[in-house]
Amino acid sequence: MSKRLPIAKTVVCIVIAAHSAVPQNHKTWTDNGGGPDNSHYSTLSQITRANVNQLSVAWSYPSNDNVSYVWNPLIVDNVVYVLARNNSLVALDAASGKEIWIHADLQGIAPRSARKAL
C-alpha cells in the first residue's frame, strides 16, 4: 500500500469534521421541519412575545372543494405551492396570495408530513 491511503483518510476526516462544525441555517426551511435535525426552529426574530398579539391574517386561499388537505405548503422564491381545488397543484404569490397558476386534477400526489391522529 502507498502512503496516500492514510493521507486520503485524514483529508476525508477533516472534511467531515469541518462540515459538521458548520452551524445550521435556521433562516430558511429547505427540508421538512426546518432541516436535517428537524428542529422546527427559526432564528428569524420579527415575531416576538411583545408583538405576537398584533398578528393578523395577511391573506387566505379557498380550496373550493370539500377535501381535507394534510399537505404542507412549499415555499420557494416567494411562491407558495399548495394542494387545492380537487387535488390540483396551485402556485400562489407568497406576499399577496394571488393565484399564479393551477395544474389541475393531479393524481398520485402523496401528502407531505401527514401524521395520523393519535
Q: Is the dihedral of CA 8, 14, 17, 18 positive or negative?
A: negative
Are 78 and 41 in the same domain? no
Are 61 and 118 in the same domain? yes
Are 50 and 61 in the same domain? no
pTM over 0.75: no
The residue type found at 57 is V
In the numeric block, which cell numbers belong to residue 90? 396551485
- Total domains in the fold of the chain: 2
pLDDT score for 87: 84
CATH number for the domain that contains residue 67? 2.40.10
Is the model's pLDDT at 117 over the cut of 50? Answer: no
pLDDT in tens, 48-79: 889 999 999 999 999 888 888 877 788 889 99
Are 47 and 65 in the same domain? no
Are 49 and 61 in the same domain? no
Are 49 and 62 in the same domain? no
Domain encompassing residue 94: 57-118
